[in-house]
Amino acid sequence: MLGFVGLGLYDCRDLTLRGLEILRKADKVYLDTYTSIVPNFSVEELENLIGRKVVSVDRSVLEGRGLFEILEEAREKDVVLLVPGDPFIATTHISIRLEAEKRGVKTEVVHAPSVVSSAISATGLQIYRFGKVVTLVYPDPEVGFYPISSYEVLEDNFNRKLHTFFLLDLKEDRKMTIADAVDVLFLLEEKVGSGIISSETLGVGVARVGSPDSVLKAGTLEFLKRYDFGPPPHSLIIPSSLHPVEAEALILLCNADREMIEKWTKKIK
């Protein structure tokens, strides 16, 4: 059996009781170390908690030959792959699960809080008022690459009065911050924009959601760019038109300036 257990957002204590139970009974536990980051996670703490060794596996294992060895192992034994956030929000893990099922290896899933639903719910914005979710990646001007499709998603959502949730690039060597994301949006506006993004556009920055030191802040993009959110992971929301309860939530829960929000709700109906 190959179990996928979600690790949640911040540290070992985001594991559910169900996840813990499966980990304690497993013959072998692997930890995916590359698709995301769990800020305060400690392998040692996890090993103490579950009473067994944890083997860290990186991209070269999970996307290479090592994967097949893990799948063969799971044919005979109870193997668990621990994954940041909810197990299948990242598409890599779906491919691993499908590969297992194709080979007749039974799979099982234990869900955990995902960054998308947790960040949305923490801001007080309503999940019903979001459009398509998108990942914002770094442009690479040297090869002429700009993440134009991300701007198109924003544009499409915004024009339908839907909020846009930006997951920010989490490359091993470069984790996108909210300030970086604002710069990328400014650049895209300049390249292909239709006027949605300006220094006065409302944004909501969410840092380390689900952790005791999470930071939520709503304000103009110019303001967010200069605001100190602390270390990643970060996410950025560009809201469109606000429901009155959402407007109030941004003021009370995300420290938005009341005047700025009132101006925004007058402008974007």
Specify the residue, 111 or 175, whose C-beta has the smaller distance to a copy of itself.
111
Residues 232, 170 contacting (CB under 8 angstroms): yes
Give the whole-angstrom CA distance, residue 115 versus residue 165.
10
Specify the residue, 17 or 143, whose C-beta has the smaller distance to a copy of itself.
17
Least distance between a copy of itself and beta carbon 190 (Å): 25
Give the whole-angstrom CA distance, residue 57 versus residue 98.
19
| Pairing between β-strand 2-6 and β-strand 107-110 as defined by DSSP bridges | parallel
Residues 96, 62 contacting (CB under 8 angstroms): yes
Residues that bind a copy of itself (CB under 8 A): 6, 8-9, 12-18, 20-21, 86-89, 91, 94-95, 97-98, 101-102, 109, 111-114, 116-118, 120-122, 124, 126-135, 156, 160, 162, 209-210, 245, 248-249, 252-253
Least distance between a copy of itself and beta carbon 173 (Å): 23
CA-based nearest residue to 230, from 244, 242, 243, 213: 213
Specify the residue, 55 or 127, whose C-beta has the smaller distance to a copy of itself.
127
**27: its two tokens:** 């013959």
> Greatest CA separation found in the chain?
62
Q: Which residues pair with 56 in a beta bridge?
A: 31
Least distance between a copy of itself and beta carbon 243 (Å): 9
CA-based nearest residue to 167, from 214, 120, 106, 217: 120
Least distance between a copy of itself and beta carbon 124 (Å): 5
CA-based nearest residue to 62, from 21, 23, 93: 93
Q: How many CB atoms lie within 10 A of CB 119?
A: 26
Q: Which residue carries 């470069």 as its tokens?
A: 174
Least distance between a copy of itself and beta carbon 120 (Å): 8
Least distance between a copy of itself and beta carbon 199 (Å): 28
Least distance between a copy of itself and beta carbon 186 (Å): 23
Specify the residue, 164 or 225, whose C-beta has the smaller distance to a copy of itself.
164
Specify the residue, 95 or 198, whose C-beta has the smaller distance to a copy of itself.
95
Provide the CB-side half-sphere exposure for 39 (13 A, CA): 17
Specify the residue, 21 or 222, whose C-beta has the smaller distance to a copy of itself.
21
Return phi, psi of residue 258, to 5°.
Answer: -60, -40
Under DSSP, is residue 79 helix (H, G, I), strand (E, B) or coil? strand
Specify the residue, 149 or 198, whose C-beta has the smaller distance to a copy of itself.
149
